[in-house]
């Protein structure tokens, strides 16, 4: 009787299983890893990394088939609040690939440190699941759920070396500030819902046109500020350096690339679908944040002597460059801004992960995080030296290596907007490019020109997983720099900007 009652009141929605296949693969993988870990003997824990890697790659398969077969946008599922389009697919692929590379990097670190491998990979898979969901979320609720899903495991991963005070500090700082940011974000979202009557981004967007009420202005500011924590934009960046330094290096790589990109994706989706009518509010706000972020990040990075800390601040500064085009999205450069941000995220992932991979490989020998420990690297590990040169030169924006095209796109978006404030920001960014080159070059100077610090020139032989990670990241950095057309066309995003009626 109950069943017949249920059948009347509730009909199961038609679910496009293909569209959510990547998420399903990840969920199945999470359970699988969790279960196998329970029964696996301690001596065989190394297999967890391999298994996790396969889960990531397995989830890429439906992404690829969706991209090849999909064709049209799949938004029927969940009432258009969860959409699978080109924008979502390319970012899902990015997150899964980054996840895979981070698994490669973590493998030996965890194995040799005797950490809890099974749990680590479960958390990482959960975090990646959150990111993959983020790419498709088109509703305040699903954005928030995805954001928490990707953040909470990351808090724990940051504190993974639990006997190390610094790692604890990293985790606690990240957690407290992250939760605070979530609170601010949620507060802003509640205002948005209260004043527009919907949580669906496109409906919010429709309701937010014209003059804004005071409460709506506040809502926009809170929402943007909440995301600003996630992407460590100045002045909401203070957690980043300590967390990056204290966390295990592979986790730092994960946070500074994947987690940050996910924050940007959330910001992009919300800005483009929900808040585009409020550009008079968030335009100047983001302008100031972008200018501050790149400048402050650079200034502090210049003074660092620890390479991980330096990369942490440099990634803050890079965040400013990624943020920069969004400052002008409301002034006629919406499409080129969106493209610039997506391209930047894609290419930045390769170069930054690559730099971390080299750091991990070198630190295995030198057991030090100081920039001076890279002295004379080129003489005893020429391969790693050249690769680090490629990654850092790319981060500095030197053609024909990866990030130059991303920087070019960012500048292009600004100049496309053509307003005088955009030009001023472009000049600030140009000056910052030079400052950034200063500290990247300092590392290169150590690698190429300084003597080996302790005279120990035994060659470094990184494990094959790190070589694979280096190969993927270096290949991406070089190939995308010379033939950027390969990814640029993915960033043609009519579906997302289509909502703007462009």
* Nearest distance, CB of residue 438 and another protein, angstroms: 6
* Nearest distance, CB of residue 484 and another protein, angstroms: 5
Which CB atom, from 28 or from 427, has the smaller least distance to another protein?
Answer: 427
Which CB atom, from 3 or from 458, has the smaller least distance to another protein?
Answer: 458
User: Strand, helix or coil at 307?
Assistant: helix
Which CB atom, from 92 or from 442, has the smaller least distance to another protein?
Answer: 442
Which CB atom, from 210 or from 485, has the smaller least distance to another protein?
Answer: 485
Task: Give the bridge partners for 84, in sequence order.
Answer: 74
Which CB atom, from 123 or from 342, has the smaller least distance to another protein?
Answer: 342
Check residue 272 and report its DSSP letter.
I
Residues 142, 496: Cα–Cα separation, whole Å: 17
Nearest CA to 359 out of 261, 480, 447, 448 is that of 447
Residues 439, 299: Cα–Cα separation, whole Å: 10
Residues 294, 296: Cα–Cα separation, whole Å: 6
* Nearest distance, CB of residue 404 and another protein, angstroms: 7
Which residues contribute to the site for another protein (CB under 8 A)?
339, 378-379, 382, 389, 393, 396, 398-400, 404-405, 408-409, 411-412, 415-416, 418, 423, 426-427, 430-431, 433-434, 437-438, 441, 445, 448-449, 484-485, 488-489, 491-492
* Nearest distance, CB of residue 312 and another protein, angstroms: 23
In angstroms, the Cα distances linking 452 to 198, 309, 424 are 61, 22, 43
SS3 per-residue string spanning 94-152: HHHHHHHHHHHHHHHHHHHHCCCHHHHHHHHHHHHHHHHHHHHECEHHHHHHHHHHHHH
Which CB atom, from 93 or from 491, has the smaller least distance to another protein?
Answer: 491
In angstroms, the Cα distances linking 215 to 188, 221, 267, 359, 424 are 9, 10, 20, 47, 30
* Nearest distance, CB of residue 460 and another protein, angstroms: 16
Residues 195, 223: Cα–Cα separation, whole Å: 14
Residues 212, 218: Cα–Cα separation, whole Å: 10
Which CB atom, from 267 or from 378, has the smaller least distance to another protein?
Answer: 378
* Nearest distance, CB of residue 85 and another protein, angstroms: 18
Give the CB-side neighbour count of residue 31, counting CA atoms within 13 A: 5
* Nearest distance, CB of residue 450 and another protein, angstroms: 9
Give the CB-side neighbour count of residue 162, counting CA atoms within 13 A: 7
* Nearest distance, CB of residue 115 and another protein, angstroms: 37
Which CB atom, from 141 or from 431, has the smaller least distance to another protein?
Answer: 431
């Amino acid at each position: 009787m109950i069943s017949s009652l249920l059948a009347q009141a509730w009909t199961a929605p038609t679910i496009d299983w293909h569209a959510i296949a990547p998420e399903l693969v990840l969920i199945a993988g999470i359970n699988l890893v969790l279960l196998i870990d329970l029964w696996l003997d301690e001596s065989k824990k190394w297999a967890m990394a391999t298994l996790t890697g396969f889960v990531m790659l397995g989830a890429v398969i439906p992404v690829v088939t969706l991209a090849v077969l999909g064709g049209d946008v799949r938004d029927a599922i969940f009432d258009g609040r969860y959409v699978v389009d080109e924008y979502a697919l390319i970012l899902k692929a990015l997150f899964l690939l980054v996840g895979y590379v981070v698994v490669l990097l973590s493998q030996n670190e965890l194995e040799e440190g005797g950490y809890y491998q099974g749990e680590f990979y479960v958390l990482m898979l959960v975090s990646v699941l959150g990111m993959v969901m983020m790419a498709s979320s088109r509703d305040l609720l699903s954005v928030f759920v995805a954001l928490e899903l990707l953040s909470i495991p990351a808090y724990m991963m940051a504190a993974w070396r639990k006997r190390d005070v610094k790692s604890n500090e990293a985790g606690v700082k990240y957690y407290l500030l992250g939760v605070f940011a979530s609170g601010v974000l949620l507060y802003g979202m509640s205002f948005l819902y209260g004043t527009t009557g919907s949580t669906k981004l496109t409906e919010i967007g429709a309701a937010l046109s014209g003059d804004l009420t005071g409460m709506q202005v506040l809502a926009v500011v809170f929402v943007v500020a909440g995301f600003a924590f996630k992407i460590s934009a100045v002045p909401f960046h203070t957690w980043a350096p300590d967390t990056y330094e204290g966390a295990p290096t592979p986790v730092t790589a994960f946070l500074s690339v994947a987690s940050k990109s996910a924050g940007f994706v959330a910001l992009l989706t919300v800005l483009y679908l929900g808040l585009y009518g409020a550009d008079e509010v968030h335009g100047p706000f983001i302008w100031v944040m972008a200018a501050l972020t790149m400048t402050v990040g650079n200034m502090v990075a210049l003074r660092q002597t620890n390479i991980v800390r330096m990369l942490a601040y440099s990634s803050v500064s890079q965040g400013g460059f990624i943020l920069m085009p969004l400052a002008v999205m409301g002034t006629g450069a919406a499409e080129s801004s969106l493209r610039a941000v997506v391209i930047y995220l894609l290419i930045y992932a390769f170069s930054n992960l690559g730099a971390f991979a080299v750091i991990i490989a070198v630190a295995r020998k030198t057991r030090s995080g100081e920039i001076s420990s890279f002295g004379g690297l080129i003489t005893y590990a020429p391969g790693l030296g050249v690769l680090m040169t490629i990654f850092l030169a790319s981060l500095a924006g030197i053609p024909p290596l990866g990030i130059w095209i991303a920087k070019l796109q960012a500048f292009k978006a600004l100049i496309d907007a053509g307003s005088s404030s955009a030009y001023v920001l472009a000049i600030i960014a140009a000056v910052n490019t030079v400052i950034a080159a200063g500290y990247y070059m300092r590392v290169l100077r150590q690698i190429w020109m300084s003597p080996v610090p302790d005279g120990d020139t035994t060659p470094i032989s990184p494990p094959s997983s790190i070589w694979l990670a280096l190969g993927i990241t270096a290949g991406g950095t070089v190939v995308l720099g010379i033939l950027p057309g390969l990814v640029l066309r993915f960033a043609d995003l009519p579906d997302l900007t289509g909502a703007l009626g462009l």
